[in-house]
A and B are shown apart, each in its own frame.
Chain A
């Protein structure tokens, strides 16, 4: 396997995990994130509830698309958009000298706006760009995505419990102050329902989604399948079946899923249906075309000859 594909897969897992974690920590404490939106004057105050719910929704979708390798490039594109907006807002706050919590990962007291926050976002932005501009074929072994999704759920749960614990301690230590501190909700049955639905959805998409999407897209009429052609020339002119001075040309075909296929062996169907013709002898190269969504570094052109051995 190409090292390049492993690198882009690792970038996808890191960024996907971060987006999913950011979404879950916001969901667990929507009221705090809504207050951040009001404080930063993002849109009208009556929009804050919608934005507070929409942003984690989008983050979760980006996270899942990246983790499960379902249209990861589109996920990365939305991620770039979201990160650019966040970074611009955070930079403006930092210039004004405001360092109060950004709400990036829920209501964590450590989540201050500082230079590190900006640098962190720029690193995430670089990872998104890397995913967007590298070849589409990625490494997607089944258990890793599920392990990461479960790990993120546990992490988000621990973060949430820690926040609840801090809030309770604050109430005991200083009941008067606690009255005026941001209201923290505990993990409700609704929260559990969200987590359960999210995990179930992720599992179903991972287990069935890609295959089902492939079956749907490749059944007639074809919508996203990619018909690949391998053009191979026999090394000599004037072999059996061709008169002088013609050379035998073999054209093999296969159907690949455009979003998942590769140039080498990752296409799930074998080559078939060779069309063999005799064509004028001359310099020609074996090729595999089109690349079906990835830069065909594997073999293009594969070999060249002039029919003279």
Chain B
């Protein structure tokens, strides 16, 4: 209201003054492998071992890099990685990496040896170097199902949408390690965006891939699970669980 009043005053003053004076993307998709990287052991679930999941999230239009501190919207690819020992859910390692023009940069990472030590690094929270702590990790999982639900919540909703005719089933086929997968297309009524997704048919309905196009048909974002692998815990020593990847710089600086 005050702004409007000052604008009006300025306008009238200008009018009066005039009267007086006169009378006197690159989209970065190259980094994303179009096909699934087949796991060395293409098994979806097993009772023992370390489950390694890697997902790539590509923002084609509205990416803002934490490493670069913001700036203008740009295309940006971020990868999320989880290593979870299903025999000891305290033993977890997670890494979030931004893929910039000069390569990967860690944004945040944390992990735990599964018993009495954990660590974290988090640029966005002002922790630019690895900080170690004693005791049990605050990032432990309650159970494996809860972890799997993170990757299946959206997929389950899409499968329900197909059943209630809110989304369209495009195709169905077999793919390792998922088994039967279904391709689904849907228009989001709230954003007007078109979503094309690949979902595991059997529960848990893992969302394997989601491609979002805006109202004008331009690519908006994609998310893909690129790795779903089972690793042998014996091959991973304690250093692995208690450190971020050594070959990737944390933030903008190199190690």
Interface-facing stretch out of B35-43, B61-69, B169-177, B229-237: B61-69
Partner among A71, A224, A244, A308 whose Cβ is within 8 Å of the Cβ of B141: A244
Chain A residues whose CB sits within 8 angstroms of the CB of B132 once the complex forms: none
Looking across the interface, which residue of chain B has its beta carbon closest to that of A275? B124
Residues of B within 8 A of A43 (CB): none
One of B23, B70, B225 near A270 (C-beta < 8 A): B70
Residues in B with CB closer than 8 Å to A60 are 18, 22
Q: Is B167 an interface residue (CB 8 A)?
A: no
A-B CB contacts (within 8 Å), total count = 167
Q: Are B154 and A309 in touch, CB under 8 angstroms?
A: yes
Task: List CB contacts (< 8 Å) of B206-249 with chain A.
Answer: 207, 210, 212, 220-221, 223, 225
CB distance from B1 to the nearest CB of A (A): 12
Contact (Cβ within 8 A) B62 A299: yes
Question: Quick one: which of A200-251 are within 8 Å of B by CB?
Answer: 201, 223-224, 230, 232, 234-245, 248, 250
Tell me the nearest residue of chain A to B63, going by C-beta: A232
A66 to B5, CA, bound (A): 19
Question: A241 contacts which of B3, B16, B62, B122 (Cβ < 8 Å)?
Answer: B122
Determine whether the beta carbon of B18 is less than 8 Å from that of A61.
Answer: yes
Question: Is A308 a contact of B152 with CB atoms below 8 Å?
Answer: yes
Is A258 interfacial (CB-CB < 8 Å)? yes
Residues of A within 8 Å of B161, CB to CB, are none
A54 to B19, CA, bound (A): 7
Contact of B125 among A197, A243, A276 (CB under 8 A): A276
A58 at the interface (CB under 8 A from B): yes
Q: Does B113 contact A (CB under 8 A)?
A: no
CA–CA, A234 and B94, complex, Å: 14
Which residues of B are found within 8 Å of A303, using beta-carbon distances? 191, 193, 212, 220-221
A78, A238, A301: the one within 8 Å of B147 (CB): A238
Assess A240 versus B146: contact at CB under 8 Å? Given A27-B22, A53-B23, A197-B21.
no
Please measure, in the bound complex, the distance between the C-alpha atom of A236 and the C-alpha atom of B150, giving whole angstroms: 7
Complex: how many Å from CA A238 to CA B82? 9
- Contact between A308 and B191, CB atoms less than 8 A apart: no
Q: Indicate whether A198 reaches chain B with its CB closer than 8 angstroms.
A: yes
Is A306's CB under 8 angstroms from B153's CB?
yes
Contacting residues of chain A (272-309) with chain B, CB-CB under 8 angstroms? 272-274, 276, 285-286, 299, 301-309
> Do A243 and B150 contact each other (CB < 8 Å), given the known contacts A252-B70, A308-B155?
no
- Interchain nearest-CB distance for A59 vs B (Å): 10
Per a CB cutoff under 8 Å, which of A61, A194, A250 touches B15? A61
Contacts of B11 in A (CB 8 A): 61, 65, 71, 74-75, 78
Known contacts: A61-B15, A309-B55. The answer to whether A194 contacts B22 by CB under 8 A is yes
Interface bits B131-161 vs A (CB < 8 Å: 1, else 0): 0000000111110001101111111110000
How distant is B213 from chain A, measured CB to nearest CB, in Å? 11
Contact across chains for B150 and A307 when beta carbons are under 8 A apart: yes
B191 in contact with A285 (CB, 8 Å): yes
Cα(A245)–Cα(B143), bound, Å:
12
Task: Say whether A240 contacts B190, CB under 8 Å.
Answer: no
Residues of chain A within 8 A (CB-CB) of B44 are none
Structural contact, A307 and B22, CB atoms closer than 8 A: no
- Asked if B223 contacts A235 (CB within 8 A), the reply is yes
* A265 is an interface residue with CB less than 8 A from chain B: yes
Q: Is B149 in contact with A308, judged by CB distance below 8 angstroms?
A: yes
In the complex, are the beta carbons of A240 and B23 less than 8 A apart?
Answer: no
Q: How far is the CA of A248 from the CA of B96 in the complex (A)?
A: 11
- Asked if B18 and A240 make an inter-chain contact with CB atoms under 8 angstroms apart, the answer reads no
Does A57 reach chain B (CB closer than 8 Å)? yes
Q: Which residue of A lies closest to B191 (CB)?
A: A301
Chain B residues contacting A232 (CB-CB under 8 Å) are: 62, 64
Distance in Å: Cβ of A255 to nearest Cβ of chain B: 13
- The answer, yes or no, to whether A4 is at the interface (CB within 8 Å) is no
Measured CB to CB, the closest approach of chain A to B96, in angstroms, equals 4
The proximity string for B residues 188-207 relative to A, scoring 1 for CB distances below 8 Å and 0 otherwise, is 10110100000000000001
The complex places the Cα of A270 from the Cα of B155 at a distance, in Å, of 35
- Asked if A271 is at the interface of the complex by the 8 Å CB criterion, the answer is yes
CA distance A58 to B110 in the complex (A): 66
Asked whether B191 lies within 8 Å of A274 as measured between CB atoms, the reply is no
Partner of B190, one of A242, A248, A301: A301
B200 to chain A, nearest CB (A): 12
Q: A61: which of B14, B69, B82 is its contact (CB, 8 Å)? A: B14
Say whether A230 contacts B190, CB under 8 Å: no
List 8 interface pairs A-B (beta carbons < 8 Å), by A numbering. A57-B19, A61-B11, A64-B18, A244-B146, A245-B146, A303-B193, A308-B153, A309-B150
Contacts A60-B22, A234-B80, A303-B191 given; 6 further ones with Cβ under 8 A? A65-B11, A236-B55, A241-B110, A243-B139, A245-B146, A301-B190
The 10 closest A-B pairs by CB, nearest first: A308-B153, A57-B19, A276-B124, A240-B108, A308-B154, A61-B15, A309-B207, A271-B70, A270-B71, A272-B70
